[in-house]
Amino acid sequence: MAYSANSKGRVIFHIDMNCFYASVEMAHNPKLKGKPIAIAGNPEERKGIIVTSSYEARAKGVKTTMPVWQAKKLCPDLLLMRPNFDRYREASRAIFKMLSEITPLVQPVSIDEGYLDITDTKELGTPVEIAEYLQQRILRELDIPCSLGIAPNKFLAKMASDMKKPLGITILRKRELASKLWPLPIEEMHGIGAKTAEKLKKVSIHTIGDLAAHDVYSLKQLLGVNGERLKNLANGVDYRPVDPEAVHDFKSIGSSQTLAHDSTDWDELHQLLDHLVENVAKRVKRKSATGKSVQLMIRFHNHQTITRSKTLQKYIDEKKDILFVAKELLKKHWNEEPVRLLGVSLQNLEEKRQVGEQLDLFTYRDNVKKEKLYETMEELADKYGKNVFLSLNSEKDKEQQPRTSFQKDFLDDYKKP
């Protein structure tokens, strides 16, 4: 497994926690180790969704996004748990702190994975020695297993980290593409989803090697500029740097939630919409952002998903403005079929200070007053808990389903040590 850091090229790690949520729960309660466990949004509901599961559960066929009833049918002794996002955030922060002690060039891409550029850390040992150190330290101090990929660029490092799990360390050199990468099915290539894989198979591209050898012109005809990009990646060409600041780049902020049951109740959908928009508005304010496009996502009972958006003439960031557009989109595009999931996002975002305020003097003064009030409320909420402020007409909080934007929520909150 020799790998020299003395070459002219870069040395990139991709680190990925194994069954992260389940692993955190097993670290918290060691009695769960070796048992089939799954994290589910609403374990009591048959239509609750599996968020993640342990390897023992996966061996029985349990998969992410699978309904609870189906998972229990495949694995009758499956232990179901509600997600504890605070616990996962805490573990994630500890992990990224360890990574930042190796190099300042750390780029988180989600709560449980990230890239490191260790090219200039020769004094710490060889790349394999550094990878082994990180893997063992995370396991020893947090009891969480991880896999690492070592390669000359981000794409190959990501592909390498997926090759051996759990507790794998895999090196993928460019000279090894023909033997290690190209034989893999095209759907296993990072960056290629089910629809793109389907298109590629129609033109006889079944493996990553087929893509690497395919004519670039026909790929661009089929997939646009993305065709050339994917061909380059398949040939091991990826010049993207590990960018610690990329975590702060954002073009949209969204929130989505699966309903406990398929619903055609207009009031119930409006109530969920209100809840989602409140989450979006809070995060938009926290980032001092503003946007001019609202997108609504509707997933129906048969898993068909549609997204519809509306672009506005001016930027907005208030809950009432986002909610108005979201409700308008729902009214216009919902066909009254049972709904399984709703999502709302504010897009085309800019930082407020970079956008000329489209406000008259009186509105501006009112806006400033409200922002100071919001800041005070958020400070009190941080100190005394999120329920310190209660709306007089609000109903008792219901049990929450996990929101699929949690990975992005983590990135919004990430602060470099």
DSSP secondary structure letters along 184-206: SBGGGSTT--HHHHHHHHHTT--
pTM for the structure as a whole:
0.69
Among the listed residues 25, 45, 56, 113, the single catalytic one is 113
Tokens standing for residue 325: 């557009």
DSSP secondary structure letters along 123-135: GG--HHHHHHHHH
Cβ atoms within 10 A of the Cβ of 146, count? 25
What residue spans of 117-262 are helical by DSSP H? 127-142, 154-161, 194-202, 208-213, 216-223, 225-234
Q: Is 117 annotated to bind ligand?
A: no
Q: Is 112 annotated to bind ligand?
A: yes
Is-catalytic flag, 378?
Answer: no
In order along its 417 residues, the chain shows pLDDT tens digits of 444 444 468 999 999 999 999 999 999 999 999 999 999 877 666 567 898 999 999 999 999 888 899 999 999 999 999 999 899 999 999 999 999 999 999 999 888 999 999 999 988 999 999 999 999 999 999 999 999 999 999 999 999 999 999 999 999 999 999 999 999 999 999 999 889 999 999 999 999 999 999 999 999 999 998 999 999 999 999 999 999 877 666 678 888 888 888 999 999 999 999 999 999 999 888 888 889 999 999 999 888 889 899 999 888 999 999 999 999 999 999 999 999 999 999 998 887 766 644 433 334 345 445 555 555 655 555 545 544 554 444 333 333 443 434 444 455 444 433
Report yes or no: 309 and 293 within 8 Å, Cβ to Cβ.
Answer: yes
Q: What are phi and psi of 282, to 5 degrees?
A: -65, -45
